Amino acid sequence: MRNSVEFVIYGDYALFTDPLTKLGGEKLSYQVPTYQALKGIVESIYWKPTLIMVIDEVRIMNPIRMESKGIRPLEYSGGNTLANYTYLKEPCYQVRSHFEFNLNRPEMAFDRNENKHHNVFKRSLQAGGRRDVFLGARECQAYVEPCVFGEGESFYDNYGDIHLGNMIHGINYPDETGREQLEVRLWSPVMRNGIIQFIRPEQCEQVRIISDMKPKYFDQGNVEPVDVLSDELEGRGKL
């Protein structure tokens, strides 16, 4: 696929929080990562307002196992409270993604150099990302490396279909939709032989409005063009 980047991400724990479990102060992870969580990982590897990162599919490499921990989170009113968080243990995922230009940002047309964005994206991946990478929650630090999607053995090879029920797909932000509102998307994924193929955000039929929201503004005054970034990295021997 055009502008495609494939990588493996792994860590000791992951927490892709089911929002229904947060009401009582507890957190329970979904069995698999959401589209939005994987998109956040890709944007930690490389992000520009010029681009929209699209997640194509994820491959679950390790068996789905969970572990509960007693946590003492801070309360907004001060002090600590007691809670029980249930994490995924030793997660490992292969991810296939690609980027597209954000056509809802015509002011960023000056930054649409497809080849240089792709080169910087791949080099950022080889360096482990431009920002810290984590699996769903800040305490779940993770590591990313380039890979070939589908290579190696998965615990769920030839496992058949697993229906995962209704869950969060992701969040619609106004700069990506052109609508001045924040929305949440839901869907019902099926894992086939360890692989979840994501539908595109605009294909989600269950969309709920959260609140009104205006997009952040970017232009040449506060964004470094990819041509300059690429030349700087090349001068440092990083490209």
The C-alpha angle 27, 28, 32, rounded to 5 degrees, equals 135
Q: Tens digits of per-residue pLDDT, 182-193?
A: 999 999 999 999
Contact between residue 130 and residue 124 where contact means Cβ atoms under 8 Å apart: yes
Contact between residue 57 and residue 197 where contact means Cβ atoms under 8 Å apart: yes
pLDDT interval class at 237 (50, 70, 90): low
Percent of the chain topping pLDDT 70: 98
Nearest to 89 by CA among 59, 62, 57: 62
Q: What is the pLDDT of residue 80?
A: 80
Percent of the chain topping pLDDT 90: 82
Q: Tens digits of per-residue pLDDT, 10-61?
A: 999 999 999 888 777 789 999 999 999 999 999 999 999 999 999 999 999 9
C-alpha span between 112 and 207 (Å, rounded): 30
pTM greater than the 0.85 cutoff = yes
Q: Tens digits of per-residue pLDDT, 130-144?
A: 999 999 999 999 999
**Token pair belonging to 163:** 């229906």
